[in-house]
Amino acid sequence: MGQKTPLTTGLDTVAGTSGNDTINGGTLNTFSAFDSIDGGAGTDTLTVLTDAATLPGGVTVKNVENINVNTSVAGAFTANASAYTGVQSLSVTASNQGAGALTVDSASGVTVNSSAATTGAINVGATTAATGAVSVAKVITGAGAVTGGAVTVKGGTTVSTTTTATNSAANTTVTQGDVTVTGTAVTTSVSVKQTASTAAAAADVTEFAVVDFGGTAAQNSTVIVAGLTLTVTDAGGMTGAEIAAAFANLAAGATGPNPAKGTFSGTLTGYSTGAVANTDQITFTSTTANTNIATDLAVTGTATITGVTVTQGSAAVAAVTAGAVSVTDVNAVIDRHYGATDDRRNGASLKR
């Protein structure tokens, strides 16, 4: 068994044992400048909790195989463990990335988990290429027109990136950031996954129908629309313009008033009407907002009219689209887009 050593906010000197030691910097910012940590033998773990913008300078870390960093800083954060010796795995969890860049460097395996990201980028291996497995998981939380920050990875034996995006603002599009992976001689496979794209962004639409009452209705003929019946009483009949005027500017539930050349019966149900347009046209607007009405508005009765044009209702759509992907590796085995696989071996490269 190894020892458990808590860090303090002051200068700490830690000498590990031959066991699997735990160096606990899980109290905020206790992994601090000029700490000297030697894990000794065994498989050792250093835990770091920080709200600073970077890991502290002037520290010495050696013979610690696993380093787990949790950052709550709002925005940019840099974790550069390139100067630490003996590291096999560096894990960084950022809970509040937002628009800041997350930069991680270590000659080891690298795991990055970022939540609450918006336009912030993630860069792994820009200074020191990763030499072990690389896993990047990024959650983009959008509420409007947002283009997520890019994910860029250099190195890694196996590389896996997963981007998950949500959008809570209707009629807008969240675009997931581009993903670029540049393999090295040790890279054997790359998997890039992004949230599936949704339908294009769209605004709320309340269903409406434009009724063209063109023509002439003879005496005793009827025009029935949405439960309201107009019966022509005048011996000379009614023109399309007169019928349109009779149906104009009615609220849902209206039963009239009666026009000079006819009478109404029944009740206008499920629709209200607007003013006359183009001489004999009336727009009937559904009282059910942003919904595709199961039965389209129709005009019945014994009179003949020109026709009805219906615009279907729909609720607004908040869209998510995928970012561009570029993968270059001398031994690429690519898993791209929601499980689709592009297998290219023997020196082939793939760029998208």
pLDDT of residue 342: 35
pLDDT of residue 317: 79
Tell whether 53 is covered by a domain.
Answer: no
C-alpha 254/C-alpha 248 separation (Å) is 11
173 and 254, same domain (yes or no): no
148 and 213, same domain (yes or no): no
C-alpha 99/C-alpha 78 separation (Å) is 14
Here the tokens at position 113 are: 């988990």
144 and 256, same domain (yes or no): no
Tell which residue, 46, 59, 145, 52, has the closest CA to residue 91: 46
Tell whether 299 is covered by a domain.
Answer: yes
82 and 177, same domain (yes or no): yes
100 and 174, same domain (yes or no): yes
Read off the pLDDT of residues 226-236 as tens digits, 9 standing for 90 and up. Answer: 999 999 999 99
pLDDT of residue 350: 33
Residue 103's domain comprises 65-201+319-343
289 and 213, same domain (yes or no): yes
197 and 77, same domain (yes or no): yes
178 and 223, same domain (yes or no): no
C-alpha 271/C-alpha 254 separation (Å) is 10
pLDDT of residue 339: 37
C-beta separation of 254 from 229 below 8 A: no
257 and 339, same domain (yes or no): no
pLDDT of residue 146: 87
104 and 179, same domain (yes or no): yes
101 and 227, same domain (yes or no): no
Tell whether 36 is covered by a domain.
Answer: no
C-alpha 288/C-alpha 32 separation (Å) is 61
How many domains in the chain? 2
273 and 240, same domain (yes or no): yes
C-alpha 3/C-alpha 177 separation (Å) is 43
Cα 147 to chain centroid, rounded: 9
Low-confidence ranges of the chain (pLDDT < 70): 197, 199, 329-352
